Amino acid sequence: MSSSAVIANPAIESAAARKSFALMFCCTLIGALAQIMLKTGTAQVGAHITLGQVVHQPSLFFKFALGILTNPRTFFGYLLYGVNTVLVALALKGRELSRLYPIIALTYVWVTFLSIFVLPGEHLNVYRVLGIAAIVTGVSVLGLKK
């Protein structure tokens, strides 16, 4: 069987697509986990800085950047994001980006659930649930071909 015959085989093509979907699904879980690590890490890094303060005193930016580089949680969170980015790139090889948007949008659901269960001081209300639903739908339709 020649290589072009393999690519033309719809069974193998859909298997590759399924693999892509599965990989992207895992990526949304890893991405959500990274978010939680980053959030708990930044809470340890130090006092809250506003954008205005950074504009007046740019050194605050570098001080904060150094803080997140040396905090184990934020460092590991960034590392997880790096790994995730490579996996996303691999998933994109098997399927075009527009078809994967609905799966990518799941990240908003995972982050919300994980936040509620793991982080202190987070809460849900009707507005937030409807808001997340609207965002997930919005991101999902971005890739539609019309």
Partner 1 sequence: MKTPISSIILVLFSSFVGSFGAVGLKLGAERLGGGIAKLLTNYWLAVGVALYLISSVFYMMGISQGELTVLFPMISLGYIWALLWARLLFKEQFTVAKVGGLALIVFGVALINLGNA
Residues found near partner 1 in the complex (CB under 8 A)? 35-36, 38-39, 42-43, 45-46, 48-52, 54, 61, 64-65, 68, 74, 78, 108, 111-112, 115-116, 119-128, 130-146
List of residues 6+ apart from 40 with CB closer than 8 A:
73, 119
Return the closest-CA partner of residue 26 out of 82, 101, 107: 107
> C-beta of 50: minimal distance to partner 1 in Å?
4
* CA–CA distance, 68 with 64 (Å, rounded to integer): 6
Single-letter code of the amino acid located at 23: L
User: For partner 1, which is the closer residue by CB, 12 or 55?
Assistant: 55
User: For partner 1, which is the closer residue by CB, 23 or 136?
Assistant: 136
Q: How many CB atoms lie within 10 A of CB 102?
A: 18
> C-beta of 17: minimal distance to partner 1 in Å?
20
User: For partner 1, which is the closer residue by CB, 17 or 54?
Assistant: 54
Return the closest-CA partner of residue 87 out of 14, 7, 28: 28
> C-beta of 21: minimal distance to partner 1 in Å?
20
> C-beta of 113: minimal distance to partner 1 in Å?
10
